[in-house]
């Protein structure tokens, strides 16, 4: 038996047309589902739409809301765009989050295409947001105050190393705030705001502890001790699953140690807050040890009474905690 010869060009064109039509229908079907949901919501009596979505449809209410948002986006329903859109409702929903300028730019450059996956779009959006935050940080002068402090609490914006900065940043700290290379953190002239006798309290994760000790030395301090913050839940890690962070204690000159019998324990359990938010006990510990000396928090996100805040996200006096 001989192998069949190539299909005539007319047949190829016919098959191509049918396949392309079926492909486009995937997008159109998503749009139609969203339009029908919107019409049903307007037509059904109060409570009936919610009952239908809960009981009668093969997807969850959250999916229904997203399908309706897709259908309401005129950019996606534009006939000139349909052939460029990926046939997956999850990816289409991510496209609704783009502003008009971003959407138009991605259409022009071909970044929106039928093979586009939701993961690629999410990672690209996160990279763009990180870039915006980095440009904001570069454009804002974060001058250290012209003042000296007897106690400094620092929470450096450590940068996590990932396998690929193109695809491996999805879970990194850079999705939440601007990070800096180790050398940038070490080069900060913290000694210029430290009193001759000063205590430094420096937050570090497990895998940043070695560089944290380098930072202590670069800032002109000597390591003395540490407090372990025990968290209620287990995080990520390579060698071990992380469940604690470390508050390193260092000194410059000869600040007074706490009186015998008043020292805090070295392991403190405390709940988590928002991403990278540190527990209340750190402030209370420092205030108990140094109730009267001037205090500053580096990379502060709140303005605490008795403290000066410094950093990109440091609040002004009107936004005091």
Stretch among 20-24, 232-236, 263-267 having the lowest mean pLDDT: 20-24
Question: Residue-wise over 181-203: b if at least 16 C-beta within 10 A, else e?
Answer: ebeebbebebeebbbeebbbbbb
* Contact (CB, 8 A) for 157 and 185: yes
Q: What is the pLDDT of residue 259?
A: 83
Query: H-type helices in the chain, by residue range?
Result: 9-43, 48-55, 61-72, 74-77, 79-82, 89-96, 100-109, 118-139, 182-186, 209-218, 281-289
Tell me: the pLDDT tens digits for 118-132?
998 888 887 777 566
Domain boundary among 76, 98, 116: 116
Same domain, residue pair 183 and 304: yes
Tell me: the pLDDT tens digits for 219-262?
999 999 999 999 988 887 778 888 999 999 999 999 998 888 88
The residue ranking higher by pLDDT, 173 or 37, is: 37
Same domain, residue pair 161 and 285: yes
Same domain, residue pair 154 and 291: yes
- Tell whether 137 is covered by a domain: no
The residue ranking higher by pLDDT, 303 or 7, is: 303
Domain boundary among 69, 96, 116: 116
| Residues above pLDDT 90, as percent of the chain | 51
Average pLDDT (27-39) is 90
> Token match 């009596």: residue?
45
Stretch among 120-124, 172-176, 266-270, 285-289 having the lowest mean pLDDT: 172-176
- Tell whether 16 is covered by a domain: yes
- Tell whether 228 is covered by a domain: yes
Question: Residue-wise over 117-136: b if at least 16 C-beta within 10 A, else e?
Answer: ebeebebbeebeebeebeee
Same domain, residue pair 104 and 200: no
- Tell whether 123 is covered by a domain: no
Average pLDDT (46-75) is 91
- Tell whether 94 is covered by a domain: yes
Same domain, residue pair 19 and 94: yes
Domain housing 244? 146-319
**Ramachandran area for residue 47 (φ above 0: left; ψ -120 to 50: alpha; else beta):** left
Query: What is the pTM (predicted TM-score) of this model?
Result: 0.56
Domain boundary among 63, 95, 116: 116
- Tell whether 87 is covered by a domain: yes
Longest dimension (CA), the chain: 97
Number of domains in the chain: 2
Same domain, residue pair 82 and 167: no
Q: What is the pLDDT of residue 254?
A: 92
The CATH number of the domain holding residue 208 is 3.40.50.150
Same domain, residue pair 97 and 191: no
- Tell whether 232 is covered by a domain: yes
Same domain, residue pair 179 and 306: yes
* Contact (CB, 8 A) for 272 and 245: no
Q: Which of 2-11, 200-209, 307-316 has the highest mean pLDDT?
A: 200-209
Same domain, residue pair 177 and 293: yes
Q: Does residue 320 carry a pLDDT above 50?
A: no
- Tell whether 159 is covered by a domain: yes
Same domain, residue pair 74 and 160: no
Tell me: the pLDDT tens digits for 111-169?
999 999 999 888 888 777 756 655 554 444 356 788 999 999 999 989 876 444 454 44
């Amino acid at each position: 038996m001989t192998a069949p010869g190539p299909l005539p060009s007319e047949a190829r064109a016919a098959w191509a047309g049918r396949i392309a039509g079926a492909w486009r229908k995937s997008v159109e079907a998503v749009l139609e589902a969203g339009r029908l949901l919107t019409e049903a919501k307007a037509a059904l009596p109060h409570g009936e739409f919610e009952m239908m979505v809960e009981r009668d449809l093969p997807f969850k209410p959250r999916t229904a809301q997203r399908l309706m948002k897709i259908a309401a986006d005129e950019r996606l329903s534009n006939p000139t765009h349909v052939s460029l859109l990926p046939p997956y409702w999850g990816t289409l929903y991510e496209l609704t989050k783009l502003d008009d300028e971003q959407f138009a730019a991605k259409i022009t450059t071909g970044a929106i295409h039928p093979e586009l996956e939701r993961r690629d779009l999410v990672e690209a959006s996160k990279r763009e947001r990180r870039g915006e935050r980095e440009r904001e940080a570069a454009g804002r002068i974060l001058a250290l105050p012209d003042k000296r402090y007897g106690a400094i609490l620092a929470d450096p914006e450590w940068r996590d190393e990932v396998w690929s900065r193109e695809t491996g940043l999805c879970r990194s700290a850079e999705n939440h705030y601007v990070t800096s290379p180790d050398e940038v953190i070490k080069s900060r002239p913290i000694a210029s705001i430290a009193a001759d006798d000063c205590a430094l309290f420096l937050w570090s994760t497990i895998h940043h502890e070695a560089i944290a000790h380098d930072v202590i030395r670069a800032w002109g301090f000597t390591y003395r001790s540490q407090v372990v913050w025990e968290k209620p839940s287990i995080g990520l890690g390579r060698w071990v699953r992380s469940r604690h962070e470390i508050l390193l204690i260092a000194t410059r000159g000869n600040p007074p140690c706490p009186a015998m019998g008043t020292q805090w324990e070295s392991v403190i359990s405390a709940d988590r807050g928002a991403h990278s938010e540190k527990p209340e006990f750190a402030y209370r510990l420092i205030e108990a040890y140094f109730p009267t000396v001037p205090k500053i928090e580096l990379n502060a996100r709140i303005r605490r009474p008795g403290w000066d805040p410094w950093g990109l996200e440091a609040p002004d006096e009107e936004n005091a905690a």
